Structure 1
Amino acid sequence: MRIGQTSFVSFVSKALSSVAGFAATILFARLLGPTVLGRYYLLLSIVAWLSLAGSIGIGSAITKRMSEGNDVGEYKTAGGLVIASIGAAIALGLLVFQGPIEHYFDVERIDFVVALLAVGLLGSYVDAMLNGSHLVHVDAMLKVARRIARTVLQVGGVFLSLGLTALVGGYAVGGLVLVIPGLYLVGRPYRLPRRRHFERLFEYAKYAWMGRLEGKTFQQADILVLGLFVPSALVGVYGITWNVANFLIIFSSSISSALFPELSKLSADDRNQQVATLVEDALSFTGMVTIPGLVGGLLLAPRILRIFGEAFGRGAQVLGLLILSVLFYGYQTQFTNALGGIDRPRAAFKVNAILIVSNVTLNLVLVYYYGMIGAAVASATSTFLSLIGGYVVLRRHVSFDTPVVQIARQAGAALAMGALVAVANSVLTRMGDPLSNEVATTVLIALGAGTYFVVLLSVSPDLRSVVRDNAPVSVIRD
Structure 2
Amino acid sequence: MSLGGETAKATIAKFAMAAVGFFGSILFARELGPKAFGGYYLLFSVTKLADRPLMGWATASKKQFADNETKRRELVGAQFLFNAVWILIATAIGLLLADRFRSYSGIAMAPFLFVVLLVSESNYEAFDRVLTASGRVGLSTWTDALRSYLTLPLQVFFVFVLTGYAADGMVYGLVGATVFTFPVIFYYIGTRPAVPSVDTFFSLAQYARYSIPTDFFATLYNRLDVILLGMLLLPAAAANYEIAAQLTAPATFVATLAGSGLMPRVSRLRAEGKTVGQEVTNTIAFSSIFAVPIFFGALAIPRALVVTVYGPEYTLGVSLLAGIADTVYFRRRQRH
TM-score normalised to structure 2 length: 0.92
Specify the alignment match of 1:61 in structure 2.
60
CA apart distance, 1:127: 0.7
What letter is aligned with 2:66? S
CA apart distance, 1:246: 2.2
- Contact 2:105 / 2:235 at 8 angstroms: preserved in 1? no
Specify the alignment match of 2:84 in structure 1.
84
1:313 and 2:315 matched: yes
Specify the alignment match of 2:297 in structure 1.
296
User: Pick from 241, 245, 257: which aligns with 1:242?
Assistant: 245
What letter is aligned with 1:65? Q
What letter is aligned with 1:181? V
Question: Which segment drifts farther, 93-102 or 148-157?
Answer: 93-102
Local SS of the residue matching 1:175: helix
1:131 and 2:132 matched: yes
Specify the alignment match of 2:176 in structure 1.
173
Aligned length: 331
Specify the alignment match of 2:93 in structure 1.
93
Residues 14-59 of structure 1 show CA distances to partners (whole Å, capped at 9, x for unaligned) of 1101110000101111111111111111111111111124x16101
1:190 and 2:193 matched: yes
Distance in 1 between the 2:197 and 2:235 partners?
A: 48
- Contact 1:253 / 1:330 at 8 angstroms: preserved in 2? no
1:268 and 2:271 matched: yes
CA 1:63–1:56: 2 relative to 1, 3 Å? closer
User: Pick from 319, 325, 343: which aligns with 2:327?
Assistant: 325
1:116 and 2:132 matched: no
CA 1:5–1:315: 2 relative to 1, 3 Å? same
CA apart distance, 1:227: 0.7
1:24 and 2:17 matched: no
Residues 202-229 of structure 1 show CA distances to partners (whole Å, capped at 9, x for unaligned) of 1111111233223322432111101111
CA 1:228–1:195: 2 relative to 1, 3 Å? same
CA apart distance, 1:133: 2.5
Specify the alignment match of 2:72 in structure 1.
72
- Structure 1: segments with no counterpart, 5+ residues: 332-386, 392-478
Distance in 2 between the 1:17 and 1:101 partners?
A: 29
What letter is aligned with 1:320? A
1:212 and 2:211 matched: no
CA apart distance, 1:118: 0.3
Q: Give percent identity, aligned residues only.
A: 22
CA apart distance, 1:74: 1.5
Specify the alignment match of 2:157 in structure 1.
156
Distance in 2 between the 1:40 and 1:187 partners?
A: 34
CA 1:47–1:328: 2 relative to 1, 3 Å? same
Residues 439-474 of structure 1 show CA distances to partners (whole Å, capped at 9, x for unaligned) of xxxxxxxxxxxxxxxxxxxxxxxxxxxxxxxxxxxx
Local SS of the residue matching 1:57: helix
- Contact 1:56 / 1:205 at 8 angstroms: preserved in 2? no
Distance in 2 between the 1:103 and 1:294 partners?
A: 35
CA apart distance, 1:287: 0.4
- Contact 2:55 / 2:126 at 8 angstroms: preserved in 1? no
What letter is aligned with 2:209? K
- Contact 1:80 / 1:125 at 8 angstroms: preserved in 2? no
CA apart distance, 1:192: 2.8
Distance in 2 between the 1:242 and 1:67 partners?
A: 33
Distance in 1 between the 2:223 and 2:260 partners?
A: 21
What letter is aligned with 1:262? R
What letter is aligned with 2:210? Y
Distance in 2 between the 1:105 and 1:39 partners?
A: 4
Over alpha carbons, which structure has the higher Rg? Answer: 1
Distance in 2 between the 1:98 and 1:292 partners?
A: 43
CA apart distance, 1:190: 2.6
What letter is aligned with 1:166? G
Structure of greater relative contact order (alpha carbons < 8 Å, 6+ residues apart): 2
Q: Kindly report the root-mean-square deviation, in angstroms, between the aligned alpha carbons of the 2 structures.
A: 1.9
Local SS of the residue matching 2:79: helix
- Contact 2:39 / 2:105 at 8 angstroms: preserved in 1? no
CA apart distance, 1:8: 0.7
Local SS of the residue matching 2:310: coil
CA apart distance, 1:104: 5.1
Distance in 1 between the 2:40 and 2:21 partners?
A: 14
- Contact 1:3 / 1:258 at 8 angstroms: preserved in 2? yes
What letter is aligned with 1:84? A
- Contact 2:76 / 2:191 at 8 angstroms: preserved in 1? no
CA 1:106–1:186: 2 relative to 1, 3 Å? same
**Runs of at least 4 residues off by over 4 Å:** none
CA apart distance, 1:188: 2.3
- Contact 2:76 / 2:193 at 8 angstroms: preserved in 1? yes
TM-score normalised to structure 1 length: 0.66
Distance in 1 between the 2:258 and 2:100 partners?
A: 42
Residues 345-371 of structure 1 show CA distances to partners (whole Å, capped at 9, x for unaligned) of xxxxxxxxxxxxxxxxxxxxxxxxxxx
What letter is aligned with 1:173? G
Distance in 2 between the 1:18 and 1:27 partners?
A: 14
Local SS of the residue matching 1:287: coil
CA apart distance, 1:187: 2.0
